[in-house]
Amino acid sequence: MSTTTTPITDALDLFLVQLEADGRSRHTIGQYRRHVQALAAWATTEGLDDIAAIGHAVLARFLTSTAARCRPDGKTKKATTANALRTSLRCFFTYLHEAGLIAVNPARLIRRARCSPPPPRGLSVDEVNRLVAALEGAEGPVERRDRALFLLMLRTGIRIGSALALDIEDLDLPAGEARLRSMKGDREDIAYLPVEVAAALAEVTEGRVSGPVFLGAGDRRLSARHAQRLLGRWLAQAGVDRPASPHSLRHSFATGLLRRTGDVVLVQAALHHRSIASTMIYARTDASRVRAALTA
């Protein structure tokens, strides 16, 4: 096994290439990059220039440092955020060890903190109703596009990436189906479309036989960043004055479906979750059913 020292940034470059070769998502690769760069920046301030100088004690010092524990505004990071950093470092050093770039894995002693995942931040029933009412007043092709996009997400729970990746060829509107080709894990699946959603999609795709369903400037595919801004405008118009992301619409769909059906397995299937564990976070949010069962 080689013990040749390597600058941390050079080791990071090798790691990122491996992640890309493994088919990891851009989001995952970006997160790993940021976390290892934070370690590299801290190590530089400590006079540690190469990967061989990072032992398990040094890594522990980093994880207890302000650089690892605090946000840029000085506030302490959430436990889940700190756990993500630990995971990134474990994966990074495991790769370096298995690739023969370091003799001993300094992250072998790192353990994730035990913590519950944060509750999903969806819109309330009243906020959803106000958003839908605002969307019903859509006039003109751009606003009708927005209405179709956000109704699709509210009524099917699909992710923003899956929605924006839809092409007209993916839609079977008479059957009320949309083929999802852009999903976590590079899977494909089918989303079932309520009548109002199919009608909204038919309106925005009328006269077109191919290309993206949701068009932005220059007839290019609408970007997720622009969709985020559009949602903010519609929420403001609806009188919803707290921040929400497109993913909040997925959470709203899930909590609403669970509230109506009480069936976690059904919610799992609707969200296209591989594991029921990913869906159980919504079950823990419905305290009203627990109260009703215990006080009846």
For the chain (296 residues), the mean pLDDT of every run of 10, in chain order, is 70 95 88 96 91 92 93 88 93 94 92 73 92 92 96 95 95 95 76 96 94 92 94 95 91 92 90 85 68 72
pLDDT at 2: 45
pLDDT at 3: 47
pLDDT at 1: 41
Q: Which residue has the tokens 């630990």?
A: 86
Q: Which residue has the tokens 């019903």?
A: 136
Which fold is adopted by the domain 125-295?
A: hpI Integrase; Chain A (1.10.443)
Give the residues across from 179 on adjacent strands: 190
pLDDT at 199: 96
Conformation bin of residue 186: beta by default, left when phi > 0, alpha when psi is -120 to 50:
left
Residue 39 burial (CB count, 10 A): 25
pLDDT at 113: 80
Which fold is adopted by the domain 8-109?
A: DNA polymerase; domain 1 (1.10.150)
Q: Which residues neighbour 47 within 8 Å (Cβ) at sequence distance 6 or greater?
A: none
- The residue extents of the domains of the chain are 8-109, 125-295
CB 200 within 8 A of CB 206: no
Phi (first) and psi of residue 285, to 5 degrees: -85, -15
CA 53, chain centre distance (Å)? 34
pLDDT at 289: 64
Sheet containing 177-180: order of strands? 171-172, 177-180, 189-192
